[in-house]
Amino acid sequence: MLSKYRGQHWLISQKIISKIIKSMNISMDDTFLEIGAGTGNITGQIGDKAKMVIAVELDYTHGIKMKELLKSSEKIQPLIGDFLRLRIDGLHDDVRIFGNIPYSITGPIITKIMKEYPQYKDVHLTMQREVALRISSPGGSRNYGFLSVITGLNNNVEILFDISPKAFMPKPKVLSAFLRITKKSEEWRPITDDFIEFVQLIFRYRRKTLMNSIKLSFDKEVANTIKEYLLKLGFSDKIRIENLSPEIIYELYKLIEFRS
């Protein structure tokens, strides 16, 4: 049974699955962590080309079917459990992450990946197109927000292609997209709980100027510190948070040494 409460839709179009496999350019040296493996219809095809696939599936019934379907493959390691609650230790550097993820928990999954698995080589995810646009949006656009910042701080993000509802079972009511996340060349900036909370707070009042938003969330001393820093960089104190890049937002966070 599909997890409807999480907005789960299985990819059933072999044409789209083949397009996904091709776009990931899989080699025999690759280890994959798959989120939401279902009964393993995509898992097995990745495993045919990769070194190993650690396939995580929440639903027990689907997990058992996946184990049975793929039991002959030594390259598949099924793991039945909730990805959001699991801590998968021992992953090698350059692990590749893939998932056809439930739409209703896309945000928590992205946040967990950025926070707990920074050793990834790249991330490829199928998700609701509207969310993919938010994640990939640059500063200054109307879709720019929390997910844009925590993902874009360390990564380049691109939508590879759209996917019709007809490719899924059951059919979602919205258009989907296949998203690629690859690391920038700069040193990784840790996505900590404190940084996550800081970004959430400053986007809480996104309709207001950044300074008014800061005043509603922090004390006067913090507000003055941020104002001085922005003016020093040549920004107006009337600027809104969506007009600041992830890098500047991270510098603001480091400046005030935010603590929850």
pLDDT at residue 4, rounded to an integer: 47
- The domain 193-256 having CATH identifier 3.10.25.10: the answer here is no
Spans of all domains in the chain:
4-183, 193-256
The pLDDT tens digits for 86-102 are 999 888 889 999 999 98
Predicted local confidence at residue 53, as pLDDT: 94
User: What CA–CA distance (Å, rounded) separates 84 from 58?
Assistant: 10
pLDDT for the residue numbered 259: 43
Q: What percent of the chain has pLDDT over 70?
A: 95
| Alpha carbons 97 and 33: distance in angstroms, whole number | 5
Q: What is the pLDDT of residues 114-159, one digit of tens each?
A: 999 999 999 999 999 999 999 999 988 889 999 999 999 999 999 9
CA distances from 131 to 87, 107, 110, 134 (A): 25, 8, 11, 5
The 76-80 sheet, strands edge to edge: 76-80, 52-57, 31-35, 95-100, 120-128, 176-183, 155-163
Whether residue 5 is predicted with pLDDT greater than 70 in this model: the reply is: no
CATH of domain 4-183: 3.40.50.150
Q: Is pLDDT above 80 for 258?
A: no
69 contact partners, CB below 8 Å, separation of at least 6: 39, 40, 44
* Residue 6 confidence class, pLDDT cut points 50, 70, 90: low
pTM of the model: 0.92
Same fold, 4-183 and 193-256: no
Report the chain's mean pLDDT, rounded to a whole number. Answer: 90
